[in-house]
Structure 1
Amino acid sequence: MNGSLTGFEERRLAELKEHVAARAAAERVIRPRRRIVLAVAAGAAVAAGASVVTVSSLGGAAPAYAVTKDSDGIVYVTVRDTAPGDVPDVKGLTGQLKSLNVPATVDYVPAGQKCREPRGTVVTDIPRGLYHTPTTIPGDPDGWQMQIDTKLFKPGQTFVWSLDVDPVTGWNGTSTILMRDPVAPCELVPDDSPHYVSTMPWAKATSLGGYQAQGKTVGEVLSEIDKRGLKVTYLVTELAPDKPRYPDMSYVMYPTKQNTPVGKDWFVWQADEVEKGVIRVYVTQKLAAPRHH
């Protein structure tokens, strides 16, 4: 991974087959899922000469988003987390960014889907400072903010910003990439790309009373789960198709294969409690060889 931000996990969009050639041009950040709300960036509204644009949320309880632009041509956007289930107003946000001279398109991508590629030609020589990877808002661990320098866009470029739901973790994510015009609209199609799955340190089946599920068969683990009256869901995984880039990413999952029937002779390599009383088991037909560090 590219390092970590407070409360974030960064991943390169190069994990998607269509963007292999654009590894230096794309950024992806994922964070625990709630609901994406875009609001005024902390401190941005008081910047000298700042202009503020806000739009009410669908529910009317709080602003759905607001963007600011200071006298230096810097546009600020903040993303905050609230309740799950709502779809962000990406059309409205796209319009407001354009009104502040950001040639942008914003798309929402549900879990298990992706935008059909190619959408356009990726810009690899991105000017330093054009936009910054989202960073934590000081004093607000549940939000993050991004800034975009409108002076650095060249004619015929579009800032493509996707707000998506990670199919493995269920967390909200954001992907940013710069393209040359024309950029095709996001046509949602099933996501058939491999998603590398990490052995996450917090992934513990805490309701199994210390029972170690790793390495056991699905049948053995199901028997243990049944004894406790718990429910089970599966994350169907396969061995990584290539040499893992990181020691803790030996498996991949394909969203289009999540309805594959799971055999009791399959293996469990990880388990976690996705919600109270529901255990998710990570299953595979073939276990990865042990790694020596």
Structure 2
Amino acid sequence: MAASFRDKLLEELRAEAATVSWETPPARRLARHLVTAAGLAAAVAAAVAVPLMSDAPAFAVVKNPDGTVTVRINEFVRPKDLEKRLREEGVPAVIDYVPYGQTCRQPRGRNVPQPDRMPLRPAEDSRDFSIDPKDFGPDDTLVVQMHSANGDLTKSNGGSVSVIRGPVAPCELVPAEFSGAERE
């Protein structure tokens, strides 16, 4: 049976916690280290409990055994942290969360046509999507631009996904143009 997203996230947190050194410090620093260790233990316990509760981290990125990467975005905050995490898993990415009613000035670079596939694929859970790092050429970058629904950071009200070959221009905010059907 395949591991669930929660199991994969828990495994990733355990691996991160395993990198902490538990060597005994000199006596004069012991009290400070005990406080630090207690804080770390509380943080790990809270992080492990997070997937089991309704409050979830802003995002989660999990590397799958087949090399794909599963992503869940729970809150549209900290896009640069998500970018960094995706790059760690082999997905070159630029993530921009823009205010409702605005968009990034186009073009941001040379778009790579995607006739047969989308760079993001729906995953088992409808809140997740997967990315295959093998879908990207050496100079390709996944560019994701999303905006929240009228300022609700937990809901998306649209955006765009593209792959750009070569340099990606920074997001320069401009007013978005909405058709009547897209407006909330």
Q: State TM-score, norm by structure 2.
A: 0.62
Greater relative contact order, per chain length (Cα 8 Å cut-off, separation 6+)? 2
The Cα of 1:51 is off from its aligned counterpart by 5.2
- Amino-acid identity (%): 36
Where does residue 136 of structure 2 map in the other structure? 153
Match of 2:58, SS?
strand
Match of 1:137 in 2: 125
Alignment RMSD (CA, Å): 3.6
* Pair 1:102 & 2:85 matched: no
Structure 1 counterpart of 2:37: none
Q: Does structure 1 residue 75 correspond to structure 2 residue 69?
A: yes
Matched, 1:177 2:162: yes
For the residue of structure 1 that corresponds to 2:134, the secondary structure is helix
Q: Give the match's secondary structure for 1:137.
A: coil
CA–CA distance in structure 2, aligned partners of residues 127 and 150 of structure 1: 16
- 1:66 aligned onto 2:31: no
Q: In the alignment, residue 188 of structure 1 is paired with which amino acid? A: L
Instruction: Provide closer, same or farther for how the CA distance between residues 77 and 178 of structure 1 changes in structure 2, counting only shifts above 3 A.
Output: same
Q: Distance in 2 between matches of 1:46 and 1:148?
A: 19
Q: Which runs of 5+ in 2 are unaligned?
A: 17-45
Supply the distance in 2 between the matched residues of 1:149 and 1:117 (Cα, whole angstroms).
25
- Is the 8 Å Cα contact of residues 113 and 190 (structure 1) preserved in structure 2? yes
Q: Is the 8 A contact 1:130 1:150 kept in 2?
A: no
The one-letter amino acid paired with 1:75 is V
Counterpart in 2 of 1:123?
A: 112
Poorly superposed stretches of 4+, deviation over 6 Å: none
**How many angstroms does 1:94 deviate by?**
0.5
Per-residue CA distance 1:202-252 (angstroms, 9 max, x = gap): xxxxxxxxxxxxxxxxxxxxxxxxxxxxxxxxxxxxxxxxxxxxxxxxxx8
How many pairs align?
141
In proportion to residue count, which structure has more strand?
A: 1
Q: Secondary structure at the match of 1:93?
A: helix
Show the counterpart of 1:44: 5
Mapped contact 1:119–1:185 kept (Cα < 8 A): yes
For residues 235-285 of structure 1, give each alpha carbon's deviation from its aligned partner in whole angstroms, at most 9, with x where no partner exists. Answer: xxxxxxxxxxxxxxxxx87xxxxxxxxxxxxxxxxxxxx9xxxxxxxxxxx
Moved more, 107-116 or 158-167: 158-167
Aligned with 2:85: secondary structure? helix
More helix by share: 2
SS in 2 for 1:96: helix
Q: What are the ranges of 5 or more consecutive residues in structure 1 without an aligned counterpart?
A: 1-41, 82-86, 139-143, 199-251, 254-273, 275-293
Identify if the C-alpha distance between structure 1 residues 136 and 80 changes in structure 2 by more than 3 Å, giving closer, same or farther.
farther
* CA gap 1:153/1:45 in 2 versus in 1, 3 angstroms: farther
Q: In structure 2, do the counterparts of structure 1 residues 51 and 150 end up closer, same or farther at CA, with 3 Å as the change threshold?
A: farther
CA distance in 2, matches of 1:180, 1:159: 9
Q: Secondary structure at the match of 2:179?
A: strand
TM-score by length of 1: 0.41
How far apart, CA to CA, are the structure 1 residues paired with 2:108 and 2:118?
24
CA distance change for structure 1 residues 136 and 187 in 2, over 3 Å: closer, same or farther? farther
Shift of 1:183: 0.6
* Partner Cα separation in structure 1 for residue 96 and residue 64 of structure 2: 25
